[in-house]
Amino acid sequence: MSSDWLMRYNTTTWRTPFTAPPPSAHRFKSKESSPTVKDSTSVTSSSVTSLNVSGPNVTSSNVTGPNVTGPNVTGPSVTTNKPEPPTPIPYKSPGPYLVEYPYEYHYTINEPNKCQQNKPFLVLMVPVAPSNRAHRDIIRSTWGNESLVQGKAVQLFFLLGQHSGEGAEKLQEQLLQESKEHGDLIQSTFLDCYKNLTIKTMVMMEWVDSHCSGTSYVMKIDSDMFLNVPKLISMLLNSPKTNYLTGLVARGAAVLRDRRSKWYLPASIYPRQYYPRYALGLGYVFSVDMAKKLVEASRHVKAVYIEDVYVGLCMQHLNIPPTDPPNWGFFHVFPMKYSRCAYSKLIATTTNKQMDRVWAWKDFKKPGPPC
């Protein structure tokens, strides 16, 4: 467990004290079309890449007017000069702490009609690395397989960026095949890396607003989490329909000024000593109207690379604070040892690598009272 992670939250005020220990960029505007890789575009700061886009070369060929011949009359030959092709705007990196957002990201794999067809009450969005097929398959065989809960339709999607490095072409072919098999992948043209998690989240918000605006709620949840979908649905049936975002809400989180920290931000980027309230990125749920509102807010808030903090900054701009869940024990940032009784009382928790999530899910779903 990273001591750096502990540093991030050691000054944070929580609604109720924890009783356990913890687990643990590019501005945007998404658009569908076939890709020119973006997040894998060429950004020149700490592994963040960004796309150089140049306008098409527009050339008009010589146009010659017809020779009109009458009695000794010849029409003149008219020629237009070829215009110079547009000069691409030089790329300027946002630096190591900001990300390329807003920006025109496109989709290389998409499911644009799935929400319209299935009309889900709840959409589950799972950001995951393109290469992490194992996590996707575990989720599909456990909580991601919950498609109808208490009469409410639930729809699962995985959100991916572009893979870089060796084997990228082969992996892309495998992703296309996986998409044909399962129909649950959304892939955009940003480079999939830690520094680009803010881009990933904001592309998710744009996608939800464009393709799932008819749903009621959306949950963004990490791929290593355990999710109690029935408990989540029960909570949402009694939750606000608009201006709502809940999860494990951090208060008074100090901005880390130690350059060695993974979450370091200099005062030149964020001068305040503390962040506004925000829900931890491991798992939060929001009313669908928030997707559009957060995208709009992002036009006015510089996009820092710390994803959950950035969502909190956008919420602050909107003057909509995150809401505490009805029970502080619904969301757990520290892995909980599995027991059917304990897991029946929570909504989401991080899991240990050693935990057999498929076995735990089968045990969790067996008939009979959990406690």
Query: Does residue 65 belong to any structural domain of this protein?
Result: no
* 353: region left, alpha or beta (phi > 0 left; psi from -120 to 50 alpha): alpha
Would you say residue 33 lies in a domain?
Answer: yes
- Looking at the chain, the whole-number percentage of residues with pLDDT higher than 90 is 70
The closest alpha carbon to 88, from 29, 36, 165, 39, belongs to 36
Q: What global pTM score does this model have?
A: 0.78
Instruction: Confirm whether 167 is domain-assigned.
Output: yes
In a domain, 47, yes or no: yes
pLDDT class for 93, splitting at 50, 70, 90? Answer: low
CA distances from 223 to 128, 138, 139 (A): 6, 9, 7
Q: How far, in Å, are 16, 136, 222, 233 from residue 211 at the CA level?
A: 37, 21, 21, 21
Whether pLDDT at 42 is above 60: no
Domain membership flag for residue 247: yes
Taking only the tens place, the pLDDT of each residue in 100-132 is 887 889 999 999 999 999 999 999 999 999 999
Write down the pLDDT at residue 216: 99
Q: Tell me, yes or no, whether 97 lies in a domain.
A: yes
Segment 206-230 mean pLDDT: 98
Token pair of 233, please? 């649905």
CB neighbourhood size of 107 (10 A): 21
Q: For residue 234, what are the domain limits?
A: 3-51+93-364
Closest CA to 191 of 28, 332, 33: 28
Please tell me the predicted confidence (pLDDT) of residue 104: 86
Number of folded domains in the chain?
A: 1
Parallel, antiparallel, or unpaired for β 69-70 and 73-74?
antiparallel
What's the one-letter identity of residue 315?
M
Instruction: Supply the pLDDT for residue 73.
Output: 40
Q: Is residue 259 part of a domain?
A: yes
CATH code for the domain in which residue 208 is found: 3.90.550.50
Residue 40 phi, psi (nearest 5): -95, 20
Per-residue pLDDT band for 179 (boundaries 50, 70, 90) equals very high
As given in the structure block, the two tokens for residue 22 are 């913890």
How much is the pLDDT for 4? 37
Quote the CA–CA distance of 159 and 109 in Å, as a whole number.
10
State the DSSP string of 252-269: SPBPP--TTSTT---TTT
230-262 pLDDT, tens digit each: 999 999 999 999 999 999 999 999 999 999 999
- The verdict on residue 195 lying in a domain is yes
CA distances from 180 to 86, 120, 169, 175 (A): 39, 21, 17, 9
pLDDT at 68 over 60: no
Could you give the 3-state DSSP secondary structure of residue 70? strand
Strand partners, 247: 284
Q: What is the pLDDT of residues 283-327, one digit of tens each?
A: 999 999 999 999 999 999 999 999 999 999 999 999 999 999 999
pLDDT at position 100 is: 81
